[in-house]
Amino acid sequence: MLVNFLILVILLVLTIGAGWLALRALRAKRLWVKIAGGLGAGLLTLALAGVAFLGGKGFVLAYFPGEQAAPDLRVAGTPEQIARGDYLVNLSCIGCHSAVGQDGNPSGEHPLSGGWNMAEGEGFGFIGAMIAENLTPGGKLATYSDGELFRVIRAGISKDGRRLGIMGLMASTELSDEDTQAIIAYLRSLPPVENSARTGDYMNFVGLLMNGAGMFGTPAKYVASIDAPPQGVSAAYGKYVATFGDCRGCHGSDMTGAPASSVSAAVPNPRPLVSSMTLEQFVSTMRSGVKPSGDPFPVTMPWQNASKMTDDDLAALYTYLTTQP
Ligand code: HEC
Ligand code: HEC
């Protein structure tokens, strides 16, 4: 934050300096100095002012998101909550928050001790490091209250009130209150594992600039209370499955595909293919990672998440994907 603040101050000083030069040139006696100097310094002033404005906007968005206080919450941690949290966390969070394996990617297995630099791993390291947290009680979360942890999952706001680059864009911001509490209960029940790796969000000034320009999409607004649709094999619940299963994060909010963005490649609309399959074919595709045509999913499609879903949740997902959005 300090470095970004200094860059912002330097930019403002440079903008003022260039503006002053432009004024000086305009007041010059010789005409060519007036025109060339005024135009050159004027354009430079405009360019610097634009960069300073976007950087400043990104700065405010990241460090002063103006969100409401963390809720006053105590999660009971019943066996039912822990079991539900186990299911949800092992479908989604584990894909990023598991310890880093030999190949530099999250292993997808316990412990959830974090340390994966997602920005670097996914090819957008130029906006700074974004490193998944240790989610076991052996890490930073031991110092978070249940309400503060709830606010991270619901709105991507850290304990100290900053907007987190990745977590604020996650599908977990749409989980019901009950499921969010179940996740907290489960994380608190894990055996503590320590990890000395650096974790957290270190967005640099380039990231702030892009953020200020709105290139990362709109982060979730804090919604105080969310209910899930009734559990069952319905399109409505299937959409909720696509939420906690993280499908909508990649395939677009209506699961009709997502265009390429500054930080990710385009993702196709899965509905035509799924609509051409029977429920049995869909379930077997999602459990094996191989489509009915015999083609396996590439690594960019994390079918392993779906492979851990219950039969009923896969059936609901199928119903949702074969129903017009
Ligand atoms: C796509 C990868 C990804 C997934 C999936 C994911 N996270 Fe994260 N998480 C991150 C990254 C990266 C950070 C580092 C902060 C940032 O940049 O947002 C992080 C940070 C956190 C933090 C620390 C926040 C802080 O205050 O510093 C918590 C808590 C957390 N995640 C919980 C979860 C939970 C619970 C889930 C599942 C519901 C989850 N995450 C799913 C990538 C992910
Ligand atoms: C990290 C991003 C990501 C997530 C999360 C994700 N997908 Fe995908 N998915 C992709 C990409 C990329 C492809 C295209 C792969 C290719 O090139 O064949 C794809 C392809 C598919 C296809 C095949 C489409 C076709 O016509 O070949 C289906 C079906 C599908 N995804 C369903 C799902 C479901 C269901 C979920 C949630 C359980 C999900 N995806 C989660 C990125 C993702």
C-beta separation of 92 from 244 below 8 A: yes
Å from CA of 293 to ligand 2 middle: 15
Give the mean model confidence (pLDDT) for residues 229-242: 96
C-beta separation of 91 from 286 below 8 A: no
Q: What average pLDDT does the chain have?
A: 93
C-beta separation of 162 from 201 below 8 A: yes
Whether 250 lines ligand 2, by a CB cut-off of 6 Å, is yes
Q: What is the pLDDT of residue 324?
A: 86
Question: If pLDDT is split at 50, 70 and 90, which confidence band does 316 have?
Answer: very high
Residues 6 or more apart whose CB falls under 8 angstroms from that of 81 comprise 75, 181, 182, 185, 186
pLDDT, tens digit (0-9, with 9 covering 90-100), for 37-88: 899 999 999 999 999 999 999 998 888 887 678 999 999 999 999 999 999 9
Give the mean model confidence (pLDDT) for residues 129-136: 97
Q: Is residue 261 over pLDDT 90? A: no
Residue 244 CA from chain centroid, whole number: 13
| Exposure class string for 266-294: b at 16+ Cβ within 10 A, else e | ebebbbebbeebeeeebbbbbbebeeeee
Give the mean model confidence (pLDDT) for residues 190-205: 94
Nearest ligand for residue 273 CA: 2
Give the sign of the dihedral formed by CA 212, CA 213, CA 214, CA 216: negative
C-beta separation of 47 from 39 below 8 A: no
C-beta separation of 244 from 171 below 8 A: yes
Q: How many residues does the chain have?
A: 325
Q: What is the pLDDT of residue 86?
A: 98
Å from CA of 301 to ligand 2 middle: 5
Ligand 1 pocket (Cβ < 6 Å) reads 89, 92-93, 95-97, 118, 130-133, 135, 141, 149, 152-153, 158-159, 164-167, 170, 172, 183, 200-201
pLDDT, tens digit (0-9, with 9 covering 90-100), for 156-177: 999 999 999 899 888 899 999 9
- Ligand 1 atom 9, closest CA: 132
Q: Is residue 256 over pLDDT 90? A: yes
Give the mean model confidence (pLDDT) for residues 196-214: 92
Q: Which of 108, 110, 104 is nearest to 123 (CA)?
A: 104
Å from CA of 38 to ligand 1 middle: 49
Whether 171 lines ligand 2, by a CB cut-off of 6 Å, is no
Give the mean model confidence (pLDDT) for residues 4-11: 92
Whether 245 lines ligand 2, by a CB cut-off of 6 Å, is yes
Other beta carbons within 10 angstroms of residue 44's beta carbon come to 17
Give me 221's structure tokens. Answer: 């607004």
Q: What is the pLDDT of residue 305?
A: 83
Give me 298's structure tokens. Answer: 């590439």
- Ligand 2 atom 32, closest CA: 270
Nearest ligand for residue 274 CA: 2
C-beta separation of 27 from 20 below 8 A: no
Whether 270 lines ligand 2, by a CB cut-off of 6 Å, is yes
Q: What is the pLDDT of residue 67?
A: 65
Residue 8 CA from chain centroid, whole number: 25
Whether the bond between 111 and the residue before it is cis, its omega within 30 degrees of 0, is yes
